[in-house]
Amino acid sequence: MIFLAAPPHPVYPRVVRASAWYDLVVTAGFATPWSYALVNRALSALGDALGLGALPAVDPVQTMYANLMGSVVIVWALLRILRPLPAHGLYDGAARVLFSAWMSYAVSQGVTRLLLLFLVVEVSFGVAQLVPWWRSRGTRRIACD
């Protein structure tokens, strides 16, 4: 059993739920091959229109990874919508650090700069979910089995 200092602020579960709704809306289109093809075309058109670059053409391997990511994120988002527990916010904040690192790396390797729009949201929700944990060090504790 691991004990963690939980953020005591009553707004925190709303932040966890808001980040989950964002994830659900943004990633739902990645969950199936058919919807991913539409999302890919829409994001490519948007990237071109904004001068940020298009996404690469859809291929079966890319589609599979997009579908896997979309499916897992949908399940994770639904869990946080239905049960916005403090520990879920902590884990989601940690995941956002990882997503942000990989998005930053992708942009540094020449992927469309459209990704920067998503990166801003990832970093923002990561900070919003991790800073309260950092501030509550040494206070109230919860058990995470």
Structure tokens at 126: 């990561």
Structural contact between residues 36 and 66, judged by C-beta atoms closer than 8 angstroms: yes
Cα of first residue to Cα of last residue in the chain, in angstroms, is 5
**Residue holding tokens 């060090």?**
137
Q: Give the pLDDT confidence score for residue 3 in this predicted structure.
A: 55
* Strand, helix or coil for residue 14: helix
Place of tokens 């990645």: 30
Q: pLDDT at position 144, please?
A: 57
Please tell me the predicted confidence (pLDDT) of residue 135.
81
Q: How many CA atoms lie within 13 A of 122 on its CB side?
A: 18
Give the Cα-Cα-Cα angle 131, 17, 15 (nearest 5 degrees).
30
pLDDT value of residue 62:
96
**pLDDT at res. 136:** 77
Taking the C-alpha atoms of residue 117 and residue 102, their distance in angstroms, rounded to an integer, is: 14
* Series of mean pLDDT values for 10-residue runs along the chain (145 residues): 63 96 97 97 96 94 97 98 95 97 97 96 96 75 55
Rounded to 5°, the CA angle 48-45-40 comes to 125
Helix, strand, or coil (residue 143): strand
pLDDT at 134: 85
pTM exceeds 0.85 for this model: yes
